Amino acid sequence: MDLDAVPQEGNATLGGHRKAVYARDANGRMVIAPSKGWEAEEIVTSNAVDTLHALAEEARQRVQAGTASTLEYWMCARRMDVPLLSQTSGFWQWRVKRHLRPEVFATLTDKHLQRYADALGLSIPELRKLPS
């Protein structure tokens, strides 16, 4: 890539930061140039973020419909899935899956809730409800 081809398209997912890329200058030397971002990169990152947002939104609707616990919403909102939440909280995957059911989640003790709260970076009261 030549220096004048270094993308400066402004990738919104970089949040205003610039990343360093290597490119060839006029003398053929490879140098570091700051890039505001590339459209291709923005598209794939946004696609991944949108997929995660959609999962969280579906979970929110299931919580509102009473078919999922708030744990499921927070798991998705924190960009986790069952295997990762299981690793982070130390509960077996089958237990995590059970706790995604509202009636089971309602019976959890504070000790168990605290493990999920720690894993998700929340307090117990926050974990028990959807964000307003």
Partner 1 sequence: MNTHAATFQHAHAAHCESGVISNLLRHHGVPVSESLAFGLSAGLAFAYLPFIKINGLPLIAYRTLPRGIIKGLLAPLATRFRFETFRSPQAGQTRLDTLLAEGHIVGLQTSVYWLPYMPPDMRFHFNAHNLLVYGKEGDEYLISDPVFEHPQRCASADLLRARFAKGALAPKGLLYFPTTVPQKKITPEAVRAAIRKNCRAMLPPVPIAGVRGMRWLAKHVDKLPAGEKRSADFIGQIVRMQEEIGTGGAGFRFIYAAFLQEAAQLAERPVLAQFSERLTAIGDGWRVMALKAARMIKGREPVNPAAIAALIRQQADQEEAFFKDLQAAVK
Structure tokens at 102: 């509202």
Token pair 């809730």 in the structure block, residue: 113
Contact stretch for partner 1 (CB under 8 A) within 14-22, 66-74, 97-105, 124-132: 14-22
Query: Which residue among 9, 12, 92, 106 contacts partner 1 (CB under 8 A)?
Result: 12
Structure tokens at 40: 């291709």
Residue 11, CA distances (Å) to 41, 42, 81 in order: 7, 5, 27
Contact code string over 40-79 relative to partner 1, x by CB under 8 A: xx-xxxxxxx-xx-------------------------xx
- The contacts found for 58-65 with CB under 8 angstroms, 24 or more apart, are 60/130, 63/102, 63/130, 64/130
> Does the footprint of partner 1 cover residue 129 (CB under 8 A)?
no
Interacting residue ranges for partner 1, rule: CB under 8 A: 1, 12-24, 28-32, 34, 38-41, 43-49, 51-52, 78-81, 83-84, 87-88, 119, 121
